[in-house]
Structure 1
Amino acid sequence: MATKAKPSEAKVPVLKGKEAEDKVLEYMKKMNRPFGAVDVSANLKGSVPKAAAQKILVSLSERGELVQKTCGKTTFFVANQANLEDMPTEKLAALESEYKKMDENNKQLVVETKMFSTEVNRLRSTPTDKELASEIVKVADAIEKAQAHLEPLRAGTRLVSAEETAQLDSEWTRWRNEWTRRRKIFLTFWSLVTDTLTPQQATELGGDLGIEHDTAEHGVLEKGALCSTGSVLGKRRR
């Protein structure tokens, strides 16, 4: 079953004879650009078939209406510039003035477009009323929790009991002593192992064995008030 042609696909009437020739000449003068027969036929929506367009173009060039040029194997035609109407000075001045006005108008439109684009981006990044309401609820909840946390401090309540402080002091002393003891044992052992090695060889051996020495943070901690003699967590010596 044949498919019905859509309205937009309706065929363009094919022109013939003088009507086709006038159509081609009118198009070539209007565009004032080089075209081949294929381009002319396609641009005229097939109203002048390719074969007919080629014959018409050749005929018009022989009559001096068009100029025929050959580039390699391609032949194209262009309107004879000598036959085109000269542009009066007044008309040229009017067109130049119109061009300048349109150019200024375009520049103004570009500025306005950028301004509106900036405003649109700002509006898009601005939270909506619903989003603001949600954020306000979150902030109010955070404030309420912070206030509840501050209340005992404002009332002078001790958050850590004396027993808990003593326990922390005991744990700190125990594990610091253990750290110091183990470090002393390691340094003694390491000194014996690397006694015959150069510092570079000792460093390479430590890297191969995956030995991690105390970092700069450990040194700062060891020299700080927390590790000073007689210092405890609950009562540091000043």
Structure 2
Amino acid sequence: MASKPKAAEAKVPVLKGQEAEDKVLEYIKRMNRPFGAVDVAANLKGAVPKTATQKILVALADKGELVQKTYGKTTFFVANQDKLGDVSSEKLADQEKEYKSIEEENKALAADVRALSTELAKLRAAPTDAALAVSLEGAISATEKARQRLAPLQAGTPLVSAAELGELDAEWTRWRGEWVRRKKIFTTFWQLATDPLPPQDANDLADDLGVDLDTPEHAALERGPVCASTGGAGVLGKRRR
């Protein structure tokens, strides 16, 4: 199958002679900034070949239309400022008006860019549909497990039997009494050992020996309803009813 012929690309007509010179001079004056021959030829899109551009720029500099400056191995050309015509006050006013209009437009565009950037950041931070599906699935699973755990309570099924409560109360009474006895023994011996010492030295000795004394939280627990009673079975049983 024959290939389709490519569309012919539009070619910029190559200028020569006076037309090329006028084109280069017009461009340099309009831009009014330093250029090298390569840049001018590239910016004119090949309308004037690079070699011809270099010759034209040198010729224009010799005529005084351009000013030629050499920096190292590179030569730049800029419009002779003395040859540029004065700008009328009306044109300056029009340019000032145009500048203000463009400045206001730029401000409006900058505000739009900021607003759109903020919106884009929000969209990127928002979870994707796939992430939402995973989160929803996890929430549904957690809800189902919670309902399964609540089902016995909603049906009125006792979670702990009276016998189990009795065993727990007996264990509590036993180990609570053991703890109180050991604490009393320690307190007695500790007071005998630290009685001759100043309070700070007693604290330092406790730190050196690794003794952990009761904190304010421990003292508050001791004064609470759990430890205030020694009735054993009555403590846990009352709290669970």
* TM norm structure 2: 0.67
Could you tell me how far apart the structure 2 residues matched to 1:145 and 1:192 are? 57
Deviations for 1:184-209, whole angstroms, at most 9, x for unmatched residues?
12221111221221111111121122
Aligned partner of residue 124 in structure 2, secondary structure: helix
Distance, in Å, in 2 between the alignment partners of 1:189 and 1:28 is 103
- 2:160 maps to 160
| Deviation by residue 1:93-140 (Cα, 9 ceiling, x = unmatched) | 222222122112111111211222222222223333333333222222
Where relative contact order (Cα < 8 A, 6+ residues apart) is larger, the structure is 2
Would you say 1:135 and 2:135 are equivalent positions?
A: yes
* Structure 2 CA distance for aligned equivalents of residues 98 and 163 of structure 1: 94
Q: 1:120–1:65: structure 2 CA closer, same or farther, 3 Å change rule?
A: closer
Match of residue 233, structure 1, among 229, 232, 236: 236
Which amino acid is the alignment partner of residue 198 of structure 1?
P
Normalised by the length of structure 1, the TM-score is 0.68
Partners of 1:89 and 1:157 lie apart in 2 by 97
Q: Is the 8 A contact 1:24 1:40 kept in 2?
A: no
One-letter identity of the residue aligned with 2:181:
R
- Indicate how the Cα distance of structure 1 residues 172 and 106 shifts in structure 2: closer, same or farther if over 3 A, else same: same
CA distance in 1, matches of 2:63, 2:183: 106
Supply the distance in 1 between the matched residues of 2:219 and 2:88 (Cα, whole angstroms).
92
Over the aligned positions, Cα root-mean-square deviation in angstroms equals 3.8
Aligned residue number for residue 87 of structure 2: 87
Unmatched 5+ residue regions in structure 1? 1-20, 69-75
- Paired residues in the alignment total 208
Could you tell me which residue of structure 2 aligns to residue 120 of structure 1? 120
- Indicate how the Cα distance of structure 1 residues 115 and 160 shifts in structure 2: closer, same or farther if over 3 A, else same: same
Give 1:235's aligned amino acid.
K
- 1:209-220 to 2 correspondences below 5 Å: 209-220=209-220
1:158 alignment partner AA: P
Aligned to 1:224: 224
CA contact (8 A) 1:64 1:80 kept: yes
Which position in structure 2 is the counterpart of 1:102? 102
**Aligned partner of residue 127 in structure 1, secondary structure:** coil
Consecutive unaligned residues in structure 2, runs of 5 or more: 1-20, 42-49, 70-75
Tell me, in whole angstroms, the C-alpha distance in 2 between the residues paired with 1:65 and 1:146: 86
Change (3 A) 1:25 1:221: same
User: Which residue of the partner structure matches residue 199 of structure 2?
Assistant: 199
Q: Verify the 8 A CA contact 1:67 1:80 in the aligned structure 2.
A: no
Residues 169 and 234 in structure 1, CA contact (< 8 A), matched pair in contact too: yes
Deviation (angstroms), 1:173: 1.5
SS of match in other structure, 1:158: coil
**2:64/2:80 contact within 8 Å kept:** no
Quote the offset at 1:219 in angstroms: 1.0
